[in-house]
Amino acid sequence: FGLYVVASGQLDWSIFRRHLWFFLAIGALIGISTNITYTAIAYIDPGTAAMLAKISTVFGLTFGVLWLRERMTGRQWLGAAVAISGSFVIAFQPGSDLLRLGSLMILVATLMYASHTAIVKRFGGVMDFVNFFFFRLFATTAVLLVVAAGRGVLYWPAANAWVIVILTAVVDIIVSRVLFYVALRRLNLSVHTIVLTLGPVLTILWSYLLFDTLPSGRQWLGGLAVLCGVMMVTWPRRGTRNVERR
């Protein structure tokens, strides 16, 4: 993507200078959130992590109400309470401290990523998309590089790992994020969360196929509560929009 932007002559460093604090903020939020998420996977299975991360819908709606001045109905507030309760069922369960630590790490990472999404929704629309996305990648990469170097875990990938690295970069960092931000520009923050609720189903499937792991009964119960709460929050009222702007 970077080579395309440079070769096409679309790169404009003045945008980065004018919006320096914006890119530093989202770079830090995304970079640190990503680092926490991948660290947490060592302590919690991917399916449970994906279901717990759905609490981002509640975080996003909170930012929408308090910052973007969106209004919520009584049913949506009830759904938020159900989703939050479900997240606590997943996070606070008897057994290994590592499991609780992993759940807490996912919650922190999710809050950070939801914060970045709200910031982008509020301030990112004034920039042309190509430069926005390039400098978003630039800032995030710089933060991840500093974090990895500081932790002493910066290594050159082995030859047989490059296929996975390139595939992950193309699918997760380029394609999915482009679609994410294009949708964010066209939809309000609440509607944007609807598509994201499909993530846990696919992640649980891949978790079983790749790692032969599934959430426990208690984790299923908490995850279902999260998803039910999200549906209550995002399901539109008949004949009206889900969230109305003042």
Is residue 139 predicted with pLDDT exceeding 60?
A: yes
pLDDT of residue 101: 76
Closest CA to 197 of 70, 61, 63, 69: 61
- Round to whole Å and give the CA distance between 8 and 86: 48
Is residue 9 predicted with pLDDT exceeding 80?
A: yes
Long-range contacts of 151-160 (CB under 8 A, 24+ apart): none
Question: Cβ distance 116 to 33 under 8 Å?
Answer: yes
- Round to whole Å and give the CA distance between 2 and 143: 17
Greater pLDDT, 202 or 121: 121
pLDDT band at 242 (very low <50, low <70, confident <90, very high): very low
- Round to whole Å and give the CA distance between 40 and 33: 10
H-helix or E-strand spanning residue 245: strand 244-245
Query: Which class for 39: exposed (0-12), middle (13-18), buried (19 or more C-beta within 10 A)?
Result: middle
Question: Cβ distance 89 to 240 under 8 Å?
Answer: no
- Round to whole Å and give the CA distance between 28 and 30: 6
Is residue 41 predicted with pLDDT exceeding 60?
A: yes
Closest CA to 85 of 205, 216, 202, 221: 221
The token pair that represents 226 in the structure block: 């999260």
Give the tens place of pLDDT for each residue, 211-222: 777 767 776 777
pLDDT band at 45 (very low <50, low <70, confident <90, very high): confident
Alpha helices in the chain (DSSP H): 2-7, 13-18, 20-40, 46-52, 56-66, 74-91, 97-123, 129-151, 162-168, 176-186, 189-196, 199-211, 217-234
Interval 89-110 mean pLDDT: 69
- The region of weakest confidence among 25-39, 90-104, 174-188, 220-234 is 90-104
pLDDT of residue 152: 80
Q: What b-and-e string marks burial along 212-233, b requiring 16 or more CB atoms within 10 Å of the CB?
A: eeebeeebbebbebbbebbebb
- 48 to 93, 115, 133, 160, 211: CA distances (angstroms): 13, 22, 30, 29, 13
One-letter identity of residue 50 = A
